[in-house]
Amino acid sequence: MTSKTERLLSLLDGQPVIPVLKIDRAADAVPLARALAKGGLRAIEITLRTPEALEAIRRAAGEVEEAIVGAGTILDPRHFEEAVAAGSKFIVSPGVTQNLLSAAAASEVPLLPGAITPGEIMAARDAGLDFLKFFPAEQAGGVAFLKALSSPIQDVKFCPTGGVSAKNAKDYLSLPNVICVGGSWVAPDDLVKAGNWDAIEALAREASGLRKA
């Protein structure tokens, strides 16, 4: 296990579910991060899928001390640098490219890149990455696919994301090569828009109880 993988796992601290967040209003970032942290999900991934994403990262990272804020949907080195400058403690990408690997190699901030095919996984492994995002999990073959990978590629671990929900999270977490899962169900758009932070805290507390056996 590489030192950057160890650093990333230390940040996640055994958290079984990483909230994957699409924040439309930067003003929601602080109360949302606080609600998730109170529910036991301190590490969060704010995706760069909205115009206010970087400001949301900046606010959550700067104002919510108990939160560990990461950035997702990082597609290139510019995204990587902007997310780190905004305060991201870890970086998540849907895939892996040489440019992203170079940006990660030059940074102390750990990268969790996506890979789904055996070739992509082996390429990431050759680059020294042994903890990967498996995305889109359900569409790529889900639990059965990951289970099949666990024997030939035993030293690579995964965080499945994409189609993972409260209904199937336990199935993923039961696999020997899965460390955690990523999901958006702990912060549904309707609850965020309504500012129902108590309901989100309750969902987070339920998700934080999905510990690996």
Active site positions, annotated: 45, 133
Q: How far apart are the first and last CA of the chain?
A: 21
At 210, list the tokens: 């999905």
User: Where does 61-110 show beta strands of DSSP type E?
Assistant: 68-72, 90-92
Rounded to 10 degrees, the C-alpha dihedral 100/71/134/103 comes to 10
User: In which element (H, E) is residue 203 found?
Assistant: helix 197-208
Please name the residue that has the structure tokens 């030192």: 3
